Structure 1
Amino acid sequence: MKPAAAAEFTEFVNASAPRLTHLAWLLCGDEQRAHDLVQDALERVCARWSRLRDQQPHAYARRIVVNLHTDESRRRRREQITADGTLPERVDGRAVSSVEDRALLTSLLQSLPPRERQIVVLRHYSDLPEREVADLLGVSVGTVKSAASRGLATLRARLAEQSDVADREESAR
């Protein structure tokens, strides 16, 4: 890679890596795995940098992160039957801190099926329009709409359950 192209790529990595890492973390719920996904995606972007640099390299990298996560979850689904699925609880009825909020959100996101989780994260974290999410995942806009609706409804219901459990625990004391 020529020095000018290398400098452009370095600038791209510095600008895009934090957002890609957060996206990957929301998808997989594991900080180390998120860094691995982003690293793999950036390696692939680097290999095609001469063609991508004048196009939309961030969109390409985002798609790679999503595809790598999808491939990994398919492999893992064959290897593991299910995860534990327990959700963090409030301690002593006190308000949940932002760290606990993030842990709860991550846990709730992980409880969604992979496709719904991808769609919810891409629509509401990455703030992508339905058409872009559909193109990115290779599904119809209707699928994006229905999966986003189902995913959000599931998240709301599970959050309400968590709140009810915490309220009952508090009133029992």
Structure 2
Amino acid sequence: MAQDDDERFRLFVQRQWGPLLRTAYLLTGDRGTAEDLTQSALEKTHRHWARILRRDAPEVYVRRVMVNTAISWRRRRRLPEVPLLPSDSAPARDAYAQVEERQLLLAALRRLPRRTQAVLVLRYFEDLSEADTARVLGCSVGSVKSQASRGLARLRGEVTRTSSQGSLRLQEESA
């Protein structure tokens, strides 16, 4: 039985590594830290694998572990903010405009509160439903809706304020 569980876990990791790493990158903003977060979450998941298979969907469980671990790491590594010079914050427009806009969006996303950031990552980057997002975060669907609404509003304000061309537009899905 334990060997069968280990094989199921191995297959789960093979199938989910890419999506989990993407989620971790969006939560941390750094490839190396994202890999550490993914491995840490999978290690914590493996410890309780047999119980998870009986009670929860493994994808939901491991994402919940990732969000909680990322928040925990963030609390421990709280660094003081270093203000940028005005010349450092203005992106230069060139052939790489799409990449720059993505960087602006990710930077604005990282400035949001961790819970709001987690809601937006799971909802819009991972394309989870409101109900699935609520399950991963252990909160109500109403909480997901309000966090997403406030988070999108803040992102729009930040992106509009920092984007020199104003070409990046975030759109809510129709209700």
TM-score under structure 1 normalisation? Answer: 0.79
For residues 12-66 of structure 1, the C-alpha deviation after alignment (integer angstroms, 9 at most, x for no partner) is: 1011111111111111111111111110111122222223345521111111101
For residues 65-107 of structure 1, the C-alpha deviation after alignment (integer angstroms, 9 at most, x for no partner) is: 0110121122233xx233557886432x324355434322221
Percent same amino acid among aligned pairs? 39
Structure 2 gaps of 5+ residues are: 167-175
1:124 positional shift = 0.9
Alignment-derived partner of residue 81 in structure 2? 82
Aligned length: 163
Amino acid at match of 1:62: R
Amino acid at match of 2:140: S
Amino acid at match of 2:41: A
Alignment-derived partner of residue 73 in structure 2? 72
The SS at the match of 2:77 is helix
1:54-133 alignment runs, 5 A limit: 55-77=56-78, 80-82=79-81, 84=83, 89-91=90-92, 93-133=93-133
1:1-173 alignment runs, 5 A limit: 2-53=2-53, 55-77=56-78, 80-82=79-81, 84=83, 89-91=90-92, 93-163=93-163, 165-166=164-165
Distance 1:159-1:131 versus aligned 2 partners, 3 A rule? same
Distance 1:10-1:89 versus aligned 2 partners, 3 A rule? farther
Q: Which structure carries more helix by proportion?
A: 1
- Once the two structures are overlaid, the 10-residue window that deviates more, 112-121 or 132-141, is 132-141
TM-score under structure 2 normalisation? Answer: 0.79
Q: Give the CA RMSD over aligned residues.
A: 2.5
For residues 96-149 of structure 1, the C-alpha deviation after alignment (integer angstroms, 9 at most, x for no partner) is: 355434322221211211111111111111222223323332333332212111
